[in-house]
Amino acid sequence: MIAQKILRSVRLFHLYCGVFISPAVLFFALSGAMQTLGLHEFGGQHPGYTPAKWILKLAQIHKHQTIEQMFRRPPAPPVGTAPIKNKGPNAAPSPNEPIPLKRSRLPLQVFFLVVSLGLFSSTLTGLYMSWRYTRPKKLLQLSLIGGIVLPVIFLLV
């Protein structure tokens, strides 16, 4: 009898907690998939490509929890040293520099895209099932609205 009450409480906690965090899970699945594809990067493998502003904003929120674009400054050279010259693409690596291995990123990218798609679709089906099989729906609606509104407020404050 007590075990059933505990199990019911745990299931209700799981339900409302899952509905509350589902908007964030959907956001991170979508923005993570875009980053896996490199849609947030300028140029790179596709010279002349410029990402849309909304993609840049999603990437900023995903990576840095802010909408403002953050620019990295190159580190200042130590005092008393000559600036480091850029090496050309055909320059030989120095003896102390590790030689990078050329591995294909495609298998891992495909895997992460499948994971993003699975996470996105399973979250949507979880939301559907929670809505379909839960009575009353008032607390469910409040959980979902809270999961959408609170991050937006935190982002804008």
Higher pLDDT, 29 or 83: 29
In the prediction, which pLDDT does 77 show?
A: 63
pTM: 0.75
* Residue 153 burial (CB count, 10 A): 8
Q: Which long-range contacts (CB under 8 A, 24 or more apart) does 50-58 make?
A: 58/27, 58/30, 58/31, 58/34
In the prediction, which pLDDT does 69 show?
A: 72
The string of DSSP letters for 37-53 reads TTTTSSSTTSTT----H
> Do residues 143 and 16 touch, judged by C-beta distance below 8 A?
yes
Lowest-confidence segment of 12-26, 83-97, 109-123, 126-140 by average pLDDT: 83-97
- Kindly tell me if the per-residue pLDDT of 25 is higher than 70: yes
Over the stretch 70-105, which tens digit does the pLDDT of each residue have?
A: 665 556 666 666 555 555 556 665 667 776 667 888
* Residue 113 burial (CB count, 10 A): 14
* Residue 151 burial (CB count, 10 A): 16
Over the stretch 35-79, which tens digit does the pLDDT of each residue have?
A: 999 888 887 667 888 888 999 999 999 999 998 876 655 566 666
Whole-angstrom distance, CA of residue 92 vs CA of residue 88? 9
